[in-house]
Structure 1
């Protein structure tokens, strides 16, 4: 069961002048360790607490949360494990833990799951998982919770991790062995909703080894497999598919310490499959009847996801009086989508119109280098210099798999970005400023679009862009009072969805070099906040404004999506708090209010439209209680309230209404754990009161049809057993 982040700065947003620097509330961390007793194989609570209070994603070096000028949150291992008792959907974890994260879709797709109204850069140990050149909304599944140590979240634009971080960064950090010796862990899990075709199973095995001595070597291996049936909604009706059916994860991490140096090799492959023996039954939006499914055979290949990541990392604790890190990485991604007789895929030269069955698949191949060097106490105590270089090479494309046609030609992209940062700490004050010099190159060969677009020949070419992105910030800690505050200005740099633009070119004699829509997105994030942390309670509040003069919005008309480059401004408020009335009881809560606006014209006109559900979630309130009512027993109850949202009432794009309506929903989850000598026994209940509802994106998206009118999962019970040996 999840709850608002324990060790986090929760950022917020409020209207203020465009040139005001944002002040962000020092995330006084509620990083106190969970009251639930840890398993014998786990590190002591104090170690877990220290891990959660130190992050690397925001600054490229280990920093305590209270010294980072920005909205940085950490989802610790205890939170991840507790939520996995309810659901292993990573988006549902983020929805509950991160105030500005939009509600989960509960599908393999993560369209509409924005962070503060924008798309976040997803990382696994710093390796990019997001595909901004051709964002297909299927990058959210890439790791089993059993291999995850913590998740570090930077809300708002960031220059720290490079291309694509215009809306924030979500970095999933994998586990490393911490105890000398060899430990094994076996996990078995079963779930059911009390209906046929609603059960789920999981088996996972993890091996950890850490040798003794001054130069230890380590190994961590994990193999896991799970399956999930279609399931039912709150009224017992079968859910529509588009969801994960089977998944497996193979993970290995090897490490060797040699004095001041350390080498680490990591490989992870996560594969997910959809249903092949169930077909969807469209719903009816007018009658508020959700889409469903029934047994049947598909006319195309089932949905499929594969994410394969590998890295070789080297670090040196004392190189030229500084700390050096170097990472070489590679990542391959493939996602196959639903097919059928789709208007866009029709071609009379292949088959009679309205008879051709086809489906698409996105593939992306990345490799890169990340290097940094940090020198502390440079010239004077408290002054720190960070230098680094990031290189990313990405080739993305989208094909129609059944007919072998190219929908999006290979997009060959290279990004090179040297960066530098200075930080000065003087007593209670921390000042930080940095520059990142982004240089990008996109090369596309000549190609023809599909028959639907008229098959015009698009002349290939090369586009280059460069941008100096900046970051400034300060943190002030008010003595021993427990109060602190921060102010921050950060810029993020990234490309638009190039594939979505190029695949829909209709005009003859078009050229890649002339398509102004390929200009990069630069996001400016201003933030300010205030926080207090005492011995038994903490509270934080912050405000932000995120602005891009040339953003990217998808407009859907008659089922066809086109990209418009328009200004976007998002403002928001995020508040969180925690209270421990006793050592056994913890109460926590968070609230997020997001207001995004954009323009109906690309000429820099007034911000006359609300951001749609594809980008922005509803206002959200989350509350949770954790209670250790006996030495070996712990429980948690959480409540999530997604508030109603009505956007763009009476607004049109051509003849297409842009109105979006969401009724709101309140969901409650619960979990219970019992530690014994034979292992940990746990039970989790999702949607405790069996609430019947339609998920936010499915209900609100203005271009939705009866086919994607998806209900949320009804009540489900999960039982698990975990045993270290």
Structure 2
């Protein structure tokens, strides 16, 4: 049966792809076959996995980007269970089902899980995206890190023939210095069995303002920078070669992002505001290069064999942050001092590379329709983080990971399909000796000097065997029921633990004391996720609904008031639903709904009764309602109502509801389309819940509230010829 399921976004992309058919008065939309999802690694499709999986087409993403929005905003609205965007270039608190998200580009992580510093959504141009695959729930398909799920961004492959794509866009708010400009150019060419695609883009953004017309500070939360006053340039190239059973794909990427901050932020106002103190640090910066290659040969005695390799090199600089509620641990001028050093600005350097072998072996001789996916993975991470004068602030680390995995998919009768597998993983971690510099900790009674501390490294290892199992039952031709269990394995942010190394009573000790990493190393975390769900497709209606429960004995919680990391038992639960309804072939209604909540064992008594902090669950309930209409002449309109609930749990600062209306569309002109859009149509003044959940003021216990962006107008043109 041909399937038409997933997000309404996918359905809309289908309608867009059939403009001429609709224009001719076709009575039914054309339904496309399901996409093989790379993030599954098995060659499977959405309907084959016993869990929640979504595919968002690149055109769907670009429609919303053309409203003047960012990639993180779009995904926060379209993926039930993913927290709303925080409105900056970083991913702080944008969790998936309350846990960490493993962000991949073509199946490759840009940075190491050993030191979290997430900016992936801000460093890729959305015009480079073919589709985005979301696999929810803990999983070990790509190794360490995916306790909440995977977001895999698949970049575009060369189109057939010789084609040029160009897109330009300008957006602005009511204020004169709020413009943003984007330009993207791509060239596709085909030479026999070879395909080539070359892409280049530039982005230039001025200031951003809230619904009251007040400027949002350039660094409103934790030193990662806002999404304003920046320039970003990307360059990418894809080479493909196909002949017979052989398939080769090579991807090269380079990018550079820089944000110029002009003034420091006042964190004592609600929301945070701009001071008149000129910023005197270095600009926020992010630059990286990456290469990945994948070769598969489908005609071997053991089935399809896929070989892949990758290398990434990324340098990231945070903003210079004054001591305050957003920066409670800072580096000082020397022993006993509580005065911040002029060099107390950090840079992160990560280099990762690896290779894998994946074999997909059909087992038709044993069970008709069954298949086995198995293979080996290897990866190496090198991580350093320093002050801008070269002083290390975390222990330099190297990690080698080795894994073997096997996954079986087999039908049981005509309607039931079993899926199950295991992954054995080992991490060999080398932590070098280093001196944690003189620092100060800001608390409720003021700043206290932390003497420099010698941290002894060593050789450490983590290992685990994690599994998954599930069933998909085809109840009818239109209804699939599924139930599954999956495990994810994660070594928490090791760098953060060494950065915060403190001896008991260290506040009263003289410099020169020593602590072993063995005494402060975090425990590896295994997360168990249980899911049940239903997928329904009948004529014009598509529904995907699921409920989940995840638990871990070594969950990681960050207390932003004390700047401390801790591990304890935790449980998270929730439900999600995606629904689309084609009122007519050219008119589509959609809804994405999610509820998430969780508790942890705050007092180590074996019982989980304390609500997880806001930085894990910034919005327990989210909803996006959308309507899309495609006119007979090819013009289109898109409207959205986006809601994110507030939160008032335990001792956490209260967060208010967020309500945003977005509108946009396109009109065909020549070989392309004039595009237009308005985000936050009614210019609503509100706080951004995710940004406001990152920090708690240690002096007052109150929130550090960050305003959401006000209304933005966008106008552009896109053409392919």
Structure 2 length-normalised TM: 0.89
Contact kept, 8 Å, 1:638 with 1:669, in 2: the verdict is: yes
Is structure 2 residue 708 aligned with structure 1 residue 712?
Answer: yes
Could you say if the C-alpha distance between residues 459 and 321 of structure 1 is closer, same or farther in structure 2, counting changes exceeding 3 Å? closer
What is residue 35 of structure 1 aligned with on the other side? 15
CA distance in 1, matches of 2:662, 2:522: 44
Could you say if the C-alpha distance between residues 90 and 33 of structure 1 is closer, same or farther in structure 2, counting changes exceeding 3 Å? closer
Is structure 2 residue 6 aligned with structure 1 residue 8?
Answer: yes
Of 392, 395, 413, the match for 1:409: 395
What is residue 571 of structure 2 aligned with on the other side? 569
Could you say if the C-alpha distance between residues 37 and 76 of structure 1 is closer, same or farther in structure 2, counting changes exceeding 3 Å? closer
Q: Note the C-alpha offset of 1:93.
A: 1.4
Could you say if the C-alpha distance between residues 604 and 492 of structure 1 is closer, same or farther in structure 2, counting changes exceeding 3 Å? farther
Contact kept, 8 Å, 1:683 with 1:720, in 2: the verdict is: yes
Q: Note the C-alpha offset of 1:379.
A: 2.6
CA distance in 1, matches of 2:123, 2:691: 23
Of 630, 633, 637, the match for 1:631: 633
* Partner SS state of residue 39, structure 2: coil
Of 463, 466, 475, the match for 1:466: 463
CA distance in 2, matches of 1:77, 1:590: 18
What is residue 455 of structure 1 aligned with on the other side? 452
With CA pairs under 8 Å and 6+ residues apart, which has the higher RCO, 1 or 2? 1
Q: Note the C-alpha offset of 1:62.
A: 2.4
Most deviating of 351-360 and 364-373: 351-360
Count of matched residue pairs = 674
* Partner SS state of residue 140, structure 1: helix
Most deviating of 637-646 and 83-92: 83-92
CA distance in 1, matches of 2:87, 2:235: 23
> What is the alpha-carbon root mean square deviation over aligned residues?
2.4
Could you say if the C-alpha distance between residues 562 and 584 of structure 1 is closer, same or farther in structure 2, counting changes exceeding 3 Å? same
Q: Note the C-alpha offset of 1:620.
A: 0.5
Of 240, 250, 259, the match for 2:244: 259
Of 505, 520, 524, the match for 2:528: 524
What is residue 675 of structure 1 aligned with on the other side? 668
Contact kept, 8 Å, 1:122 with 1:171, in 2: the verdict is: yes
* Partner SS state of residue 47, structure 2: helix
What is residue 243 of structure 1 aligned with on the other side? 226
Could you say if the C-alpha distance between residues 124 and 7 of structure 1 is closer, same or farther in structure 2, counting changes exceeding 3 Å? farther
Contact kept, 8 Å, 1:37 with 1:631, in 2: the verdict is: no
Contact kept, 8 Å, 1:35 with 1:626, in 2: the verdict is: no
What is residue 55 of structure 1 aligned with on the other side? 37
Q: Note the C-alpha offset of 1:97.
A: 1.1
What is residue 15 of structure 1 aligned with on the other side? none
CA distance in 2, matches of 1:7, 1:399: 47
Could you say if the C-alpha distance between residues 721 and 455 of structure 1 is closer, same or farther in structure 2, counting changes exceeding 3 Å? same
What is residue 444 of structure 1 aligned with on the other side? 431
Q: Note the C-alpha offset of 1:313.
A: 1.5
Alignment deviations for residues 5-25 of structure 1 (CA, whole Å, 9 cap, x no partner): x8438xxxxxxxxxxxxxxxx
Of 462, 467, 472, the match for 1:475: 472
What is residue 122 of structure 2 aligned with on the other side? 141
CA distance in 2, matches of 1:459, 1:410: 11
Is structure 2 residue 380 aligned with structure 1 residue 375?
Answer: no
Is structure 2 residue 195 aligned with structure 1 residue 193?
Answer: no
What is residue 327 of structure 1 aligned with on the other side? 308
Is structure 2 residue 429 aligned with structure 1 residue 433?
Answer: no
* Partner SS state of residue 501, structure 1: helix
Most deviating of 220-229 and 253-262: 253-262
Structure 2 gaps of 5+ residues are 21-25, 219-224, 440-449, 504-512
Contact kept, 8 Å, 2:62 with 2:126, in 1: the verdict is: yes
CA distance in 1, matches of 2:207, 2:47: 44
CA distance in 1, matches of 2:357, 2:617: 34
Alignment deviations for residues 393-427 of structure 1 (CA, whole Å, 9 cap, x no partner): 001121111x3211012111111101011110242
Contact kept, 8 Å, 1:52 with 1:75, in 2: the verdict is: no
Alignment deviations for residues 484-538 of structure 1 (CA, whole Å, 9 cap, x no partner): 11011000001111111111212244212333x4221111010001232110112
Structure 1 gaps of 5+ residues are 1-5, 10-27, 650-658
Is structure 2 residue 277 aligned with structure 1 residue 279?
Answer: no
What is residue 612 of structure 1 aligned with on the other side? 613
CA distance in 2, matches of 1:696, 1:263: 44
Of 184, 187, 200, the match for 1:204: 184
Contact kept, 8 Å, 1:37 with 1:634, in 2: the verdict is: no
Contact kept, 8 Å, 2:170 with 2:715, in 1: the verdict is: yes
* Partner SS state of residue 110, structure 1: coil
Of 420, 423, 433, the match for 2:409: 423
Contact kept, 8 Å, 1:500 with 1:562, in 2: the verdict is: no
Alignment deviations for residues 645-695 of structure 1 (CA, whole Å, 9 cap, x no partner): 11214xxxxxxxxx2211101101011101122421010111011011110
Aligned 1:49-88 pairs, distance under 5 A: 50=32, 53-58=35-40, 60-88=41-69
What is residue 488 of structure 1 aligned with on the other side? 484
What is residue 508 of structure 2 aligned with on the other side? none
* Partner SS state of residue 249, structure 1: strand
* Partner SS state of residue 121, structure 2: coil
CA distance in 1, matches of 2:5, 2:102: 21
* Partner SS state of residue 73, structure 2: helix
